[in-house]
Structures are given as C-alpha cells and as structure tokens.
Amino acid sequence: MRSRQISCVVVLWASALLLAGALSYGQSGPVGLQIAPQNSFVSVSATLPFTATRAVQHWLTSDATIAAVDSAGLVTGVQPGVVTITAISGIFRNSTTLTVVALPKATNLFLGVSTMPPGNLRLC
C-alpha cells in the first residue's frame, strides 16, 4: 500500500513539472502558440488577417481605439498608434506588436497649370 502512495505522488509531481514547463516555455515557444504576422503595420481603415498555429478562442487588442480585432483574427486599423494583438488558445497565449499608420492623402498633388506651352516638348 505504501509503494502505491509513493508512486502516485511521483506521477502527480512529474505531471505538475510537465505542466509548469508547458506554461512557462510553451506559451510563446515553438511547442506553444505562434501567431503571424509578427511586428507588422496596417493603415487606418485597412484590414490585416492574423493566423495562429492552434485554434484560437480569443483574439485581443490592447487598445480598441487604435485597432479592432474580430473573433477570426481580422484586425482593422482605427487611428494611428501602436497596439499589442494577443491570441489565446487554451493554456497558451502569444502576442505581437501592430503599428497603425495614417497614409498621406494623394489628392490634389498636381493642381495648377502646366508651365510648358503645348508643342514645345522636345525629346533628346
């Protein structure tokens, strides 16, 4: 009877060590959860899909006023800034940085009248 109790304690202790190792290393290590893209950029109003190596239960953003993320991992830039996008899958989680940028408007770049009269174009 005593050897059975010792065996049970050893098995429980070994299981706890394996779980602790998975929690500490595996959260963002190669056996845990990997997400892509890493450290990326998106412009305001544009979307960027995030993917993971495991089924993700929760996609989170550190600031929804900068970037919004839906349950499928599709991120939409809201306003310029930097946020952390986090994926949670069971006991695993991993995060990456996303920078939202405002692209310059390309309207009215060439307002004005041409300075070269018609017919004066010469090719060399």
Q: What is the pLDDT of residue 120?
A: 64
Q: What is the pLDDT of residue 84?
A: 98
Q: Indicate whether 27 and 37 sit together in one domain.
A: no
Q: Can you give the residue range of the structural domain that contains 38?
A: 33-104
Q: Indicate whether 10 and 20 sit together in one domain.
A: yes
Stronger pLDDT, 62 or 110, i.e. the higher one: 62
Is 58 contained in some domain? Answer: yes
What is the dihedral angle through the alpha carbons of 78, 35, 90, 13, rounded to the nearest 10 degrees?
-140
Spell out the residues 6+ positions from residue 80 whose beta carbon is closer than 8 angstroms to its own.
44, 66, 100, 101, 102
Q: How many domains in the chain? A: 2
pLDDT tens-digit series, residues 20-53: 444 444 444 456 899 999 999 999 999 999 999 9
Please give the Cα distance from 84 to 95 (Å, whole number): 6
Q: What is the pLDDT of residue 105?
A: 77
| pTM across the whole model | 0.63
